[in-house]
Homo-oligomer: A and B are copies of this chain.
Amino acid sequence: MTEASYESRPLDALNNARNKRVIVELKNNKQFVGKLKAFDIHVNVVLDEAEERAEGEVKRKLGTIFLRGDMIVMISTE
């Protein structure tokens, strides 16, 4: 695989964020922040040291969580 085709895949961008803290926004407007430990082609993700936030405030401390891909709108690095 050439570098060009490698760079063209969105899941590779997610791979660059592995082990970094990411913000995950869901269709129900909930926002979770944690260290990205795992993801798959369905965009299911696992976060470590996760917390739910609302308007910048921590709402819940959650440890390790699994989020189902079809609920995810956006993933960004913190």
Contact = CB atoms under 8 A, between A and B. Distances in A.
Interface residues on A, range: 35 or more
A10 to B, nearest CB: 4
Contacts of A29: 28
Total identical chains: 7
B27 A18 contact: no
Sorted nearest first, the 5 A-B pairs with minimum C-beta distance are A10-B44, A13-B46, A66-B75, A65-B76, A10-B38
B46 A44 contact: no
30 contacts: A7-B38, A8-B38, A9-B38, A10-B38, A10-B39, A10-B40, A10-B44, A10-B46, A10-B66, A11-B44, A12-B38, A13-B37, A13-B46, A13-B64, A14-B66, A26-B73, A27-B71, A28-B29, A30-B73, A43-B44, A43-B68, A50-B76, A62-B76, A63-B76, A64-B77, A65-B74, A65-B76, A66-B75, A67-B74, A68-B74
